[in-house]
Amino acid sequence: MHELGIVFSIIKTVEEVGAENSISKVNSVTLEIGEVSGIVPEFLTDCWKWSVEKSELLKGSALYIEQIDAVTYCESCGKTYPTVEFAKICPYCKSDNTYLVTGNEVNIKQIEAM
């Protein structure tokens, strides 16, 4: 389960931002997670609940997750399409000359703090 490592990394980043900005308490963190990132949101949430109790800054804070849809670009025809539905093969021209544009990222979108 790599979600625990991801949560530890997020907590470390939020604690660094908190120290740089004299934040005394974080109420919530909003993450953007790519649809094909390989992260299971339910596992991430479970790890979050356990991990934040060990941080004075984040204790009791909520985690909100927003999905970034996976989109693939076809270099042959120049169109984009939903990755999960069609995978690597372009539904318009049937080319496999494609690459992922969005959907694999993990971003801290917002930190709500006092």
Q: Per residue of the chain (114 residues), what is the pLDDT tens digit? A: 589 999 999 999 999 999 999 999 999 999 999 999 999 999 999 999 999 999 999 999 999 999 999 999 999 999 999 999 999 999 999 999 999 999 999 999 999 998
Q: What is the per-residue DSSP string for 42-82? A: HHHHHHHHHHGGG-TTTTT-EEEEEEEPPEEEETTT--EEE
Cα–Cα nearest to 58, from 24, 94, 101, 108: 24
pLDDT at 114: 80
pLDDT at 1: 52
The CA-based dihedral angle spanning residues 51, 59, 14, 23, taken in that order and rounded to the nearest 10 degrees: -170
Fold category of 3-69+103-113 in CATH: hypothetical protein PF0899 fold (3.30.2320)
Domains of the chain by residue range? 3-69+103-113
**What is this structure's pTM?**
0.88
